[in-house]
Amino acid sequence: MTPRKRAQSRGAFVDSSRRAFLGSVAAGAGGLATLSQSAMAQTAGADIAKPGDGGFGRAAVQLPPGRAVAYHDPVDIGEMPEFTRSLDGSKPKITSGGWAKESTEHQLPIMKGLAGVHMFLDPGASRELHWHAIAAEWAFVISGRCQTVVIDPSGQTEVNNFEPGDLWYFPKGHGHSIQTIGAEPCHFILSFDNGSFSEHGTFSITDWIDVTPKDMLARNFGLSKDLFDAFPKGETYIQSGPILAADKAIDAPWPRDSTHKFALLKDVKACRDFDGGAFNLATVDEWPASKTMSGGLMVIKPGRMKELHWNPNANEFHYYLRGKGEVAMFGSGGRCRVAGVKAGDSAYIPAGYGHAIVNTGDEDLEVVQTWDAGKFEEITLRHWLETSPKYLVANNMAGVPETTVEKLLRS
């Protein structure tokens, strides 16, 4: 098999789905995709240089010109990994009051920095008191109302009530619980800043009490050990119960600089709309408590896109609430993978990987996004090109007509 065929078999060159995506990008990015296709379509072959060519140390010399584009031998680069999966197609963890589904590195190995969970609480249900030993928790309320209670290491407790569009953030190891308010169910998307996180690794109080010797429990609480015979035999996880009326729900929020709650869709400081859609984002700058994570809701209009960009400082997790689209992820070394996404799907973009999202449907594409850093950093390809010297861009795009370069820089 020739080197070119080996590369094609490993996904190193443009496939039909990538061409389709890049074609759609071209309409929104001033022809940049056309340039990418042209570059990738050039003939590749084995390197003609020999070991030691170019000299050593200070005795370096100029070599004869090589090919117009570099050849990436599949031996030298890894496979482009899968980066999307159906979170809502997962098997749910169900108990008496609701369910949860998850995407972690156990289901999708690329997910090293972040994990995601979709949780549903029935009316009257509560997610029992628990904590997470390895990750902070970030949440976006999709529908319904709920209440959280969180305790920090100082012993102080905050109680907050939430409605659709609100966020919460709990630092790693801080105890917390979630309870539905009112007669409607509540569901939300959770994100954790550790890909190894799993709902099966949660530290729940019923589980703890169940496995602790009863004489030790009796000594700890000053009770007869026989009283612990009535406690649950295992983890209740999400427990059914009587409905908590909204007017009976305590609300005891902390000041803005320390509260665990953020009203994402109401806070004007969170609005970062872009050409093609709306983006509401909460970072540590808008929400001081959220020190290790940032996130929000992106809405992309039909036929529009979130342009080619990368995040230098953080991994990125997506949960798709509505619509359908395509995500393209660039992994260096001639690698790009394109995936179709729809409601209920999730995606993971490693820090520094180039990517873009296109709405391919007839309705808004809604995406809950999180990053495992409190500060949000982003660099777009278009802005980088526009702020670079024209002669540098022209040199990079050798063989591209000057008129096309001009259009590229004015896009």
Q: Is 6 a catalytic residue?
A: no
Bridge partners for 329 per DSSP: 337, 355
The H-assigned helical ranges of 3-52 are 3-9, 16-28, 32-41
CA dist 88 to 96, 173, 232, 280, Å?
A: 19, 27, 29, 24
Residue 200 — φ and ψ, nearest 5°? -80, -5
Residue corresponding to tokens 């190894």: 196
Based on the number of CB atoms within 10 Å of its own CB, is 22 exposed (0-12), middle (13-18) or buried (19 or more)?
Answer: buried
| Catalytically annotated residue among 105, 128, 158, 199 | 199
| Catalytically annotated residue among 10, 18, 118, 130 | 130
CA dihedral 201→152→284→276, nearest 10 degrees, is 50
Q: Is 355 a catalytic residue?
A: no
Relative orientation angle of helices 16-28 and 32-41, to the nearest 10 degrees: 150
Q: Is 137 a catalytic residue?
A: yes
CA dist 157 to 101, 181, 254, 338, Å?
A: 28, 19, 9, 45
Residue 212: which residues within 8 A CB-CB, separation 6 or more?
A: none
| Catalytically annotated residue among 105, 137, 235, 316 | 137
Relative orientation angle of helices 32-41 and 402-410, to the nearest 10 degrees: 130
Q: Which two structure tokens, joined as six digits, stand for 156? A: 């102080």
Q: Is 130 a catalytic residue?
A: yes
Q: Is 199 a catalytic residue?
A: yes
| Catalytically annotated residue among 18, 118, 132, 304 | 132
| Catalytically annotated residue among 10, 127, 187, 260 | 127
What phi-psi label fits residue 131: left (phi over 0), alpha (psi between -120 and 50 degrees) or beta?
A: beta
The side-by-side arrangement of strands in the sheet containing 345-349 is 84-86, 345-349, 316-322, 365-371, 294-300, 277-282
| Catalytically annotated residue among 72, 85, 176, 335 | 176
Residue corresponding to tokens 């994570």: 293
Bridge partners for 365 per DSSP: 300
> Which residues are catalytically annotated?
127, 130, 132, 137, 176, 199
